[in-house]
Structure 1
């Protein structure tokens, strides 16, 4: 649960204050004694502002770790129950050894061992805590043997099926040369700090933040098979293992010392709900959109705006880019019960929530990709009520696009990403000053699109006047009427004149009727004018225009009012805007506007494709998240789509929702057409990707549309250039 990268960043700050050798300070941060006593079981201690894994690191001396062995209950029914349906047991024996890609035992590092007052094995690494993947801790209980990497950011090293999966499915996939390069990075063999050595402590820690329950009665092999079948977990481990191969030359930094961004956030979820007794096991669609949050106390009123912060450090040859985000959001849901009964749960039914993480280091690759393993905080709603709910979110691998900065003092003007994070809603019970986990209320599978646009104090929305834009949107509407579920996606053009948006749109609506049938209408048009205005933000020191915008139907909303269509933001130069649609005529969703360009579309290059598609069939709902798929531009008229997706499906009649499955489908040859002013279309049979590219030729924003048998799929994807 502890973030080594966060400690690293604090250490870097201390270095700039002149605390001596950079390497000594960095190594010293990980060897601070822990003064908190007593063990903690996460079943008994749910807290916001932390990840799901708790720590039992009290009473440890410098360079010591505690071993906590957790086994499936098919291995032991007598151990102490803990989260993920595992049980804490004391191992029969524990060993520590060096290893290689063949997972051989290569001798023991310098250690000493002891047993604490509660029976846990304590290991001291007398020459310092390991950072690389070549040191293994092995624990045996009966006939069950499991291993964990010693390089865990949490000094309470969990040895369980998750750690065993990590050991089995990473080290053996490296060539000896790759493994040696990783060890060279850990040892800073090239005489320069290699930040990617900290990937291993992050990865070894974050696998324990995944909320994946091991079935009752399972043994170790059953548990490992389950984890291998969980596409999101397996994909995360694989991506992080690839990330670890990058060397110190990849650890770039943003040009500015700090850059703040306005965040536009869309989360589409497909869940299984157990919250309401009469609707147990039903499937559920959900949509999350970023909101401003107002905080009031005796000292006054404060505003929290959806935001990302990138911070760069460059001291003693240490190059670090850190990121942290905080996105308040509202949620709406539509429950789809067997028999085609539908129940809307609007934003008024859910307390405003937050999607946030702590500061953590990332790799800036060739100034265009921001790479990191990210762990999201838990949150709690309903405190003091009869229904306290804890919300968990699984880690994800961030592969974000960053634009080239305009100069050495300015950060990238955009950070764009798509990612997948499953999670749970868990009923909590107050027990003294702690919150104890009870039953699961929802299993959640969430696809996210996040567009972060650089803030600029003194932004003047009149700079958008006289400019033309291509626009694209995806929105959902839930209702109790004849069409409970509608998905609308549109394309069009804007001309902005003195704050008036003159537009021409065409849109497609895929909807499910209240009898369960699915229909598609491709004939929608929209030509009515809208109103665009600046939305002043209330900062700690003053009110300021920082690039936030209102989008209304007619009259411009006030700075602290809810606009008719949504709240958004612009880059400082006005070339890209994005809006969260909120109770708009189209529904709740995301709208993107990019300035039209006379530049031709790219004729070569590879683009990372991320995004979401929603599928409706007579007895099925499907969520399809494109997880770092690939779009290759082969020529000015042809392209290749290499689909990689995480898919969850809801069977209405069976009342089941599948866990995320990884699909790596065959390449699809596409016809590639340019239609002018930056607009493009990719097509192959029923598949169509239509939208536009930016003038910089490194971003595509596309509507996804296809029909597979009786299933209609529609969505929004973003493709950004790879180095």
Structure 2
């Protein structure tokens, strides 16, 4: 059962259950040789839910169940569960108030009992805590080893997992606060100042979401070593840090979108790199992948890639909720290495259509404006649903996806009755493909088939009621694009381009460049080329249950003849000022095109921009995928400086090994050259960025190129003005 949008009066449930990405639970089950009716996610993989399991059967509203999961080092013969942990019954449970330093500040009112399944039940007479100041500590002794771990009592699904993930949140997540910051968090939890502070509910969501991360804990690790492993996972540690910062937003941080509900057409590109274990010739070899949004035929009507934003006001509180549902197709290229054959490439395009869908949940639209008329950022911790597909030679593949932090740009609404016409963002997430076996009507997890590290670009463009193509055919556009091409004499190619497109005649002029790996494994870079082509844009009526409707969906095509498959599908804002397409073409590859109307504005707005996006790097013995996250581009009249944290995934080719995400800092200076009509170049030595800015001057789209070597780089970046920036005031 999916979590669905519900009425505003159910505010607490919306913020905790939906926002927390709760797992779907069918109820208690009798499992032989298990702890009674304990729900173990290892035994029952559910699509349409997140990776965590839970069981609230028999619990009263003020009770939580304690499920202790320890590294195998402490209980090698105990029941196995997800992430290579073992379920045990703790010897001792205590609940106390704590601070950012983990100190025991004294007990809170609670009582304990034992459930029918043998698990500890903790009851809170004053209701389940919602803040980070109440900790549950569980202790277990087995095999001569004793382990004590902590978890927040606020966990929204009320099946409180006490394990290395929850312990990391308490020890490292809260430990990153100063005493002043922790007090600010508690002021929010306690609604000091008189206004209800919505971000108090971050903790119930976060305490649950840490268990959606698919990160295995090696069986020989102690607790300290397990926590160190999690600290070394840049994506996990980064998510905790971002959510902890999010919780510092005060009660007046959130505004609402203009309309009560707004639907957006979504254009989505996911580039992935990770180890695959499907090919016995080189288990663990690196696998590149590209995911592009698609239309899904439901038989008479279509499911279109979409984002829904819902805003409402209840008790003078502004609440924004969002959900996404994006069907996608996938193509992959395995890059293995054997002796004596050397580099081996294997392309696969026959993957079953899949779904990248998020649990509906609360978000913060910040900074608020008095009338909702200004650009803003949409912030949220997002949980993604699992899915199941049947693949050739490997039926019942379970796909898991880790949570991610959303920091997206929303434009200023066009009029008082309109929502923002675009939501633009990029983020990093990871996941797995897992073999599933049918066991008594349930799908039990088997071996891991793949691990995926995914850099995502998402553009959500407001749907129209009756889209008018005149907004496009009467305009000229600047554009940028990024594609991945798998197969051929250069089995791995990433191509970028920037240039101009005529809306009336489809005349395309671009400067293209590529980095590639040839069939000997050598990395190379092609010279920049001026290319002309014809890319026409055609309206693509949506086939809805109510009948065909022009909602702003588009096709990109050369002749647009009915017999010709399109180069890609996409969408436009209602006025046609911004277009985006997913490329899906045998010649061009799988990718993303972004186009904006040309402008007479001499230069973009000076100020600080949030920079996000995808970078790819190739050198002699490594493939690398970067997610630029949380970067700041400071644009002045004399130049630009970029400082950015990024997640880096590295594939060491000759070892058939892909590392886990690591942090890498970027610190670059650029000279800035506006080129007329809204085009711009940022040159920073080896790395050059080319692209365009919008007529509002607060959004810049750039392709990156560095063909100087020895590391060859390319990518696509989105820079959007930070509303708090002085220039944005």
**TM band (smaller chain):** over 0.9
TM-fit CA distance, 1:383: 8.8
Paired residues of 2:623 and 2:651 also in contact (CA < 8 A): yes
Paired residues of 2:507 and 2:532 also in contact (CA < 8 A): yes
Paired residues of 1:388 and 1:427 also in contact (CA < 8 A): yes
With over 3 angstroms needed to count, the CA separation of the structure-2 counterparts of 1:584 and 1:341, relative to structure 1, is closer
Q: Identify the residue that residue 531 of structure 1 maps to in structure 2.
A: 536
Q: Identify the residue that residue 486 of structure 1 maps to in structure 2.
A: 493
Q: How many residues align?
A: 695
Counterparts of 1:660 and 1:24, CA distance in 2: 34
> Which of 254, 257, 262 in structure 2 is aligned with 1:254?
257
Does the alignment pair 1:229 with 2:232?
Answer: yes
Counterparts of 2:441 and 2:605, CA distance in 1: 61
1:232 partner SS: helix
With over 3 angstroms needed to count, the CA separation of the structure-2 counterparts of 1:35 and 1:610, relative to structure 1, is closer
Q: Identify the residue that residue 18 of structure 1 maps to in structure 2.
A: none
Q: Identify the residue that residue 612 of structure 1 maps to in structure 2.
A: 614
Q: Identify the residue that residue 463 of structure 1 maps to in structure 2.
A: 471
1:62 partner SS: coil
Does the alignment pair 1:204 with 2:207?
Answer: yes
Ranges of 4+ aligned residues in structure 1 off by more than 4 Å: 22-30, 383-386
Does the alignment pair 1:308 with 2:304?
Answer: no
314-323 or 236-245, which deviates more: 314-323
Does the alignment pair 1:239 with 2:242?
Answer: yes
Counterparts of 2:16 and 2:629, CA distance in 1: 35
619-628 or 442-451, which deviates more: 619-628
Q: Identify the residue that residue 371 of structure 2 maps to in structure 1.
A: none
Q: Identify the residue that residue 650 of structure 1 maps to in structure 2.
A: 651
Does the alignment pair 1:663 with 2:671?
Answer: no
1:178 partner SS: helix
Paired residues of 1:602 and 1:636 also in contact (CA < 8 A): no
TM-fit CA distance, 1:25: 11
* Residues 279-318 of structure 1: pairs in structure 2 closer than 5 A: 279-296=282-299, 301-318=300-317
Q: Identify the residue that residue 161 of structure 2 maps to in structure 1.
A: 158
Q: Identify the residue that residue 53 of structure 1 maps to in structure 2.
A: 52
Counterparts of 1:383 and 1:48, CA distance in 2: 16
> Which of 374, 377, 382 in structure 1 is aligned with 2:390?
382
Does the alignment pair 1:474 with 2:482?
Answer: yes
Q: TM-score scaled by structure 1? A: 0.93
> Which of 416, 434, 449 in structure 2 is aligned with 1:441?
449
* Residues 397-436 of structure 1: pairs in structure 2 closer than 5 A: 397-436=405-444
Q: Identify the residue that residue 169 of structure 1 maps to in structure 2.
A: 172
Paired residues of 1:566 and 1:584 also in contact (CA < 8 A): no
Paired residues of 1:472 and 1:691 also in contact (CA < 8 A): yes
Does the alignment pair 1:217 with 2:220?
Answer: yes
1:124-150, CA deviations, whole angstroms, 9 ceiling, x for partnerless residues?
Answer: 011011110000000111321110111
TM-fit CA distance, 1:71: 0.6
Paired residues of 1:564 and 1:584 also in contact (CA < 8 A): no
Paired residues of 1:50 and 1:378 also in contact (CA < 8 A): yes
Does the alignment pair 1:678 with 2:678?
Answer: yes
2:203 partner SS: helix
With over 3 angstroms needed to count, the CA separation of the structure-2 counterparts of 1:592 and 1:122, relative to structure 1, is same
TM-fit CA distance, 1:192: 2.2
TM-fit CA distance, 1:482: 1.6
Paired residues of 2:16 and 2:156 also in contact (CA < 8 A): no
Paired residues of 2:15 and 2:361 also in contact (CA < 8 A): no
Counterparts of 2:382 and 2:583, CA distance in 1: 26
2:49 partner SS: coil
1:277 partner SS: coil
Q: Identify the residue that residue 588 of structure 1 maps to in structure 2.
A: 590
Q: TM-score scaled by structure 2? A: 0.92
TM-fit CA distance, 1:384: 12
With over 3 angstroms needed to count, the CA separation of the structure-2 counterparts of 1:616 and 1:445, relative to structure 1, is same
Does the alignment pair 1:507 with 2:515?
Answer: no
* Residues 20-419 of structure 1: pairs in structure 2 closer than 5 A: 36-37=27-28, 38-142=37-141, 143-296=146-299, 301-338=300-337, 339-346=342-349, 349-366=350-367, 367-382=375-390, 387-419=395-427
> Which of 8, 11, 14 in structure 2 is aligned with 1:12?
8
Q: Identify the residue that residue 712 of structure 2 maps to in structure 1.
A: 712
Counterparts of 2:439 and 2:123, CA distance in 1: 35
TM-fit CA distance, 1:466: 2.4
Counterparts of 2:56 and 2:314, CA distance in 1: 31
Counterparts of 2:394 and 2:287, CA distance in 1: 23
TM-fit CA distance, 1:566: 0.5
Paired residues of 2:552 and 2:573 also in contact (CA < 8 A): yes
Paired residues of 2:515 and 2:707 also in contact (CA < 8 A): no
Q: Identify the residue that residue 631 of structure 1 maps to in structure 2.
A: 633
2:166 partner SS: helix
1:198-246, CA deviations, whole angstroms, 9 ceiling, x for partnerless residues?
Answer: 1011111101000000112111111111101100001000000000000
1:561-613, CA deviations, whole angstroms, 9 ceiling, x for partnerless residues?
Answer: x7431001100011100000001532110000011111122352111111111
563-572 or 228-237, which deviates more: 563-572
Paired residues of 1:35 and 1:60 also in contact (CA < 8 A): no
With over 3 angstroms needed to count, the CA separation of the structure-2 counterparts of 1:23 and 1:351, relative to structure 1, is closer
With over 3 angstroms needed to count, the CA separation of the structure-2 counterparts of 1:574 and 1:23, relative to structure 1, is closer
Q: Identify the residue that residue 22 of structure 2 maps to in structure 1.
A: none
1:163-190, CA deviations, whole angstroms, 9 ceiling, x for partnerless residues?
Answer: 1111111223223232222122112222
Counterparts of 2:450 and 2:59, CA distance in 1: 37
Counterparts of 1:88 and 1:23, CA distance in 2: 30
Counterparts of 1:78 and 1:648, CA distance in 2: 34
With over 3 angstroms needed to count, the CA separation of the structure-2 counterparts of 1:314 and 1:95, relative to structure 1, is same
53-62 or 122-131, which deviates more: 53-62
TM-fit CA distance, 1:359: 1.1
Paired residues of 1:2 and 1:154 also in contact (CA < 8 A): no
Unaligned runs of 5+ in 2: 20-24, 29-36, 368-374, 724-729
Counterparts of 2:360 and 2:13, CA distance in 1: 22
